[in-house]
């Protein structure tokens, strides 16, 4: 299949392939965080279907990762590094075993928050809420160079509370960055509890009021992810926000919708039980 999201349809065989890649990537996430005895598996597992879709079909090439005309994938919630590494590895940027063995090891490039030293990582994450600003810069640069590159920014819902994001939203609308698409992993949980309890949010209304096209999808439905990305490609003057309803710890029953797994890694029998579910 041709790279990019301008094709009219995705067939069931490809959906099945992507689904299997996501299932395997969830296992990679569990291996990484268990071996390191640290990390953020929950958000990684809620974001992984979007990561796999983007990294398999965006115009990026592991054989030429610095192609100046490539698409850019910016991950703003960089603590979901296990998901990013799993998706990049499954897309050919490096060996899966290297990421698993090196995750959070002091002598490894696979740090707890993503860094540009990792092949395929475009932007080093730090404080939450900054990724959209970086994405705006990539999108504006691509338009100035007229190279057809798209910019995709993947964000968490908790970080939508940050003030910098409101400025970036308005910047993107002012400069009509139609080549910018944001995917928001809305699992409704952050480290301190539910997003609504920590700080009330009106994510959809905020993006709409600032002039964005807004789409709402099931973030674990690969067909819906694909269709939303195609719709985003067709609007040349408005940036698009795809709000993806997801489940923290998706794929492992005892991890799902539990804030505990935002920051806790499975150990011992928990790891065995989680892998048994994924391997069914």
**How many whole angstroms separate alpha carbon 29 and alpha carbon 40?**
9
Q: Residue 225 domain-assigned?
A: yes
pLDDT tens-digit profile of 81-90?
A: 999 999 999 9
Q: What is the CATH number of the domain that holds 28?
A: 3.40.50.970
Nearest CA to 210 among 246, 244, 245, 160? 160
Number of domains in the chain: 1
Q: Residue 5 domain-assigned?
A: no
Domain that holds residue 30: 12-278
Q: Residue 96 domain-assigned?
A: yes
pLDDT tens-digit profile of 106-147?
A: 999 999 999 999 999 999 997 899 999 999 999 999 999 999
Q: Residue 2 domain-assigned?
A: no
Work out the burial of residue 242: count CB atoms within 10 Å of its CB; fewer than 13 is exposed, 13-18 middle, 19 or more buried.
buried
Q: Residue 261 domain-assigned?
A: yes
**How many whole angstroms separate alpha carbon 147 and alpha carbon 138?**
12
Three-class secondary structure of residue 276 per DSSP: helix
Q: Residue 4 domain-assigned?
A: no
Q: Residue 6 domain-assigned?
A: no
**How many whole angstroms separate alpha carbon 39 and alpha carbon 251?**
17
> Is 0.75 surpassed by the pTM of this model?
yes
Q: Residue 161 domain-assigned?
A: yes
């Amino acid at each position: 299949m041709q790279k990019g999201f301008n094709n009219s349809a995705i067939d069931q065989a490809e959906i099945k392939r992507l689904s299997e890649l996501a299932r395997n990537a969830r296992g990679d996430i569990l291996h990484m965080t268990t071996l390191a005895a640290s990390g953020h598996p929950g958000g990684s597992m809620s974001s992984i279907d979007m990561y796999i879709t983007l990294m398999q079909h965006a115009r990026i090439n592991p054989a030429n990762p610095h192609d100046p005309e490539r698409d850019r994938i910016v991950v703003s919630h960089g603590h979901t590094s296990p998901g990013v590494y799993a998706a990049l590895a499954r897309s050919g940027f490096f060996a899966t075993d290297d990421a698993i063995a090196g995750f959070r090891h002091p002598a490894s490039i696979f740090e707890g928050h993503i860094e540009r030293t990792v092949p395929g990582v475009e932007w080093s994450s730090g404080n939450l809420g900054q990724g959209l600003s970086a994405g705006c810069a990539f999108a504006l640069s691509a338009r100035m160079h007229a190279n057809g590159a798209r910019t995709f920014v993947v964000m968490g819902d908790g970080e939508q509370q940050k003030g910098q994001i409101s400025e970036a939203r308005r910047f993107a609308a002012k400069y009509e960055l139609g080549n910018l698409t944001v995917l928001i992993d809305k699992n409704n949980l952050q480290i301190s509890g539910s997003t609504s309890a920590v700080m009330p949010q009106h994510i959809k209304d905020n993006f709409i009021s600032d002039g964005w096209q807004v789409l709402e999808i099931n973030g674990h439905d690969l067909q819906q992810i694909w269709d939303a990305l195609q719709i985003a490609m067709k609007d040349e003057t408005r940036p698009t926000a795809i709000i993806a309803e997801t489940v923290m710890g998706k794929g492992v029953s005892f991890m799902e919708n539990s804030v505990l797994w935002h920051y806790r890694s499975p150990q011992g029998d928990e790891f065995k039980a989680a892998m048994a579910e994924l391997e069914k």
